[in-house]
Chains A and B, each alone.
Chain A
Amino acid sequence: MRGYLAAVRIALRAIVRSKLRAALTVLGILIGVAAVVIVVALGTGVRNRILGEISGLGASSIYIFPQSTQASGLRRRESVRMSEADGLAVLKESTSVAALSPFSSTSMQIVAGEANVATQVMGVTRSYLSILSYRVAKGDGWTEADEQLKAKVCVIGETVREDLFGSSEAVGQYIRIGKHPFRVIGVLEKKGQSPFGEDQDDRLLMPIGSFRSRVVPSAPGKVQMLVAAATSERTVDRAVEQIDRILRQRHEIAPDDEPDFVIRTQAEFRASQERILDTLTMLLSSIAAVSLLVGGIGVMNIMLVSVTERTREIGIRMAIGASEGDILVQFLVEAITLSLIGGVMGLGAGLVVIKVLAAALGWNMTLPVSAVVIAVGTSATIGIVFGFFPARRAAHQDPITALRHE
């Protein structure tokens, strides 16, 4: 092919000649590309935020729930066993478990003076705070002695503090839970909402022994759940294997039988969240892609008009020696140029919108380089795909008919 540069010049001139029409066509592509770019950036923004929050929950944390097993459709065990002793055994025998806390909770109305509020009351050990990366902002956590003595002390979340004490000092005050007054010895650092919209500051923590004896009377050592932390994010899988083996042994469950417990990890949860986010991003991207498609159809439409309008010009060019390839390239370059202008401007518009959104939402939104490449590549592809049919139509004109065209 001779002179692509000449083809580009011809294309630019044709575009400049019909400015309004070209501008509207470019707008179609611009909106499409901007939409894709924004959706991709929003997707990564949401993703960063949610996954960051999940990591904030303790990336190496492991949850062990009891599960009632069934045999021939009948419950095999009357009551599910999950005890503090199980936890202690795991902590002692597993090399990959760094920390472990029993966990039991209930939703309760708690009272302080005139104020009362419903919150989640949790019985745990001190390890729980480190496993889920809670920090005591004011006052202190409880001591081992408190745990052994089943002391009536508690640590409250920021939301509970706000609701019960407002602006006055909370540490040292008493909260009535059921019949018993508990002394507030610490306030947790604010953690905000969890990825599931749960307020992680709306809770009250106390030693598990105190919980069992004074909040929800239950058998000694019995817990609802065990929360553990692997020694690192990489050892989570090994920790799970070890916990499984230890608990099977303790609960006398054969390796092939269904266990009476379930082990869930933050990593698994993170993976499932990632799948959901990926699906969501895909869905939104496809919607944005539809607008890109519509923009492409706009290009095709305008190119068809352009070819019809310039039939005579095509005839003249053919008569003086333009080959079909020359004509094809001329119109293809025109379509690609329109699309690329739209693509680059759409990228620019998208980046501006992302900046504004990021500032408004306070999110960390990044546009991956791949998205930039895809946006520009897609618009060029649109030019080729949607420009090809009109360009081919132009190239296949019969020179005589084209010359006679008015």
Chain B
Amino acid sequence: MLPQSQGVAAVLRDEPLIELASVGKDYTTEAVVVRALRHVDLTIQHGDFVAIVGQSGSGKSTLMNIVGCLDRPTRGTYRLDGLDVTRRSNDARAIVRNRLIGFVFQGFNLLPRTTALENVELPLVYRGVGVAERRRRALEALGAVGLADRLHHTPNQLSGGQQQRVAIARALVTSPPLLLADEPTGNLDTRTSYEVLGLLQRLNRGGITIILVTHEPDIAACASRVITMRDGEVRSDLRNERPVDAAVALAALPPSGAESDERAP
């Protein structure tokens, strides 16, 4: 597998997907200014698989929130897919999130008491997609993450790995060019973590750009580019020419009944 396999759309354009220029972020709390991000210049191309690692407090989550259009930088500019999203209105940013970004969180963040299918349909609801089309695309996305048989299960009837796969399906259903995963394996055991990673790698091979925040070196090793954050700055930015194939890693794990238990709690 090539580390930088790119989708057709991405190949056709030459501009990068993400361009951060001199981005900084300050938080003011009780007259103390915390500089969460000092100065970040970062360019990410279409089709890349980037891991952002760093200690807690290194600014990686802040960076993630800015890239995900959930937060605005205090300084600098951020261009996403050629669009300056730094100073857009909240509603415009909501549309950007809906169209261009899929989110996967550590805590899964599925709507409780809502079926997998409905959770996956939700982004399409906000996009104004009709019922039939919504259903079709949600089924497709759930099929892609291997949950075609769990459509009407609610999150509390699903295991952690299954919930995270529903979350990934929800992120995919709008076919966004960018998928942001914030510690997606943080709440999962090793075996399930590799399963989820394998899924992400498979999606990346299909052309979607993935940015993954983690503090686990094993997980970061699966990415083709590893950015290390420290004290609100990028400390290192290394290309990993031989990323670990999660499917291979999973196969190499000793078979364990307890760890591989995918039944609902």
Give chain A's interface residues, CB within 8 Å of chain B: 2-3, 6, 17, 312-313, 315-326, 399-400, 403
- Give the chain B neighbours of A326 by CB distance below 8 A: 94, 126
Please measure, in the bound complex, the distance between the C-alpha atom of A318 and the C-alpha atom of B98, giving whole angstroms: 9
Question: Closest B-chain residue to A319, C-beta based?
Answer: B103
Is the Cβ of B65 less than 8 Å from the Cβ of A400?
A: yes
Known A320-B103, A403-B109; further 8 A-B contacts with Cβ < 8 A: A3-B128, A316-B110, A317-B122, A319-B103, A321-B174, A322-B98, A326-B126, A400-B65
Cβ of B60 within 8 Å of any chain A Cβ, yes or no, is: no
B25 CB, min distance to chain A CBs, angstroms = 11
Cβ of B170 within 8 Å of any chain A Cβ, yes or no, is: yes
Q: Are A319 and B126 CB-contacts (below 8 A) given A17-B113, A312-B109, A324-B90?
A: no
Question: Closest B-chain residue to A17, C-beta based?
Answer: B113
Is the Cβ of A321 less than 8 Å from the Cβ of B126?
A: yes
Scan residues 94-139 of chain B and give those whose CB is less than 8 A from a CB of chain A.
94-95, 97-99, 103, 105, 109-113, 122-123, 125-128
Q: CB-defined interface of B73-86 with A at 8 Å, one 1/0 digit per residue? A: 00000000000000
- Give the chain B neighbours of A312 by CB distance below 8 A: 109
Is the Cβ of B95 less than 8 Å from the Cβ of A319?
A: no
- Give the chain B neighbours of A320 by CB distance below 8 A: 97-98, 103, 122-123, 126, 170-171
A325 in complex: contacting residue of B91, B122, B125, B128, CB < 8 Å: B91
Is the Cβ of A316 less than 8 Å from the Cβ of B111?
A: yes
Cβ of B70 within 8 Å of any chain A Cβ, yes or no, is: yes
Please measure, in the bound complex, the distance between the C-alpha atom of A400 and the C-alpha atom of B103, giving whole angstroms: 12
Is the Cβ of A400 less than 8 Å from the Cβ of B99?
A: no
- Give the chain B neighbours of A321 by CB distance below 8 A: 94-95, 97-99, 123, 126-127, 174
B125 in complex: contacting residue of A3, A17, A313, CB < 8 Å: A3
- Give the chain A neighbours of B65 by CB distance below 8 A: 400
Question: Closest A-chain residue to B170, C-beta based?
Answer: A320
- Give the chain A neighbours of B54 by CB distance below 8 A: none
Please measure, in the bound complex, the distance between the C-alpha atom of A322 and the C-alpha atom of B68, giving whole angstroms: 14
Please measure, in the bound complex, the distance between the C-alpha atom of A123 and the C-alpha atom of B98, giving whole angstroms: 92
Question: Closest A-chain residue to B122, C-beta based?
Answer: A320
Is the Cβ of B125 less than 8 Å from the Cβ of A316?
A: no
Q: CB-defined interface of B41-83 with A at 8 Å, one 1/0 digit per residue? A: 0000000000000000000000001001011000000000000
| 25 A-B pairs whose Cβ atoms sit less than 8 Å apart in the complex | A2-B125, A6-B125, A312-B109, A313-B111, A316-B109, A317-B126, A319-B97, A320-B103, A320-B123, A320-B171, A321-B94, A321-B95, A321-B97, A321-B123, A321-B127, A322-B98, A323-B90, A323-B91, A323-B94, A324-B90, A324-B94, A399-B70, A400-B65, A400-B70, A403-B105
CB-CB nearest 7 A-B residue pairs? A321-B98, A2-B128, A323-B94, A323-B91, A320-B123, A321-B126, A399-B70
A11 CB, min distance to chain B CBs, angstroms = 13
- Give the chain A neighbours of B99 by CB distance below 8 A: 321
Please measure, in the bound complex, the distance between the C-alpha atom of A400 and the C-alpha atom of B93, giving whole angstroms: 13
A400 in complex: contacting residue of B71, B123, B170, CB < 8 Å: B71
Please measure, in the bound complex, the distance between the C-alpha atom of A313 and the C-alpha atom of B174, giving whole angstroms: 19
Please measure, in the bound complex, the distance between the C-alpha atom of A326 and the C-alpha atom of B94, giving whole angstroms: 10
Please measure, in the bound complex, the distance between the C-alpha atom of A3 and the C-alpha atom of B133, giving whole angstroms: 14
- Give the chain B neighbours of A17 by CB distance below 8 A: 113
Please measure, in the bound complex, the distance between the C-alpha atom of A304 and the C-alpha atom of B70, giving whole angstroms: 24
B91 in complex: contacting residue of A6, A324, A399, CB < 8 Å: A324
A18 CB, min distance to chain B CBs, angstroms = 11
Question: Closest A-chain residue to B171, C-beta based?
Answer: A320
Please measure, in the bound complex, the distance between the C-alpha atom of A315 and the C-alpha atom of B94, giving whole angstroms: 12
Please measure, in the bound complex, the distance between the C-alpha atom of A400 and the C-alpha atom of B36, giving whole angstroms: 15
**Which of A3, A312, A319 has most chain B Cβ within 10 Å?**
A319
Question: Closest A-chain residue to B71, C-beta based?
Answer: A400
- Give the chain A neighbours of B122 by CB distance below 8 A: 317, 320
Scan residues 125-169 of chain B and give those whose CB is less than 8 A from a CB of chain A.
125-128
Q: CB-defined interface of B29-44 with A at 8 Å, one 1/0 digit per residue? A: 0000000000000000
Please measure, in the bound complex, the distance between the C-alpha atom of A399 and the C-alpha atom of B103, giving whole angstroms: 13
**Which of B71, B111, B112 has most chain A Cβ within 10 Å?**
B111
Q: Are A319 and B68 CB-contacts (below 8 A) given A312-B109, A324-B90?
A: yes
Please measure, in the bound complex, the distance between the C-alpha atom of A318 and the C-alpha atom of B125, giving whole angstroms: 12
B139 CB, min distance to chain A CBs, angstroms = 18
Is the Cβ of A2 less than 8 Å from the Cβ of B105?
A: no
Please measure, in the bound complex, the distance between the C-alpha atom of A140 and the C-alpha atom of B206, giving whole angstroms: 110
- Give the chain B neighbours of A318 by CB distance below 8 A: 70, 94, 97
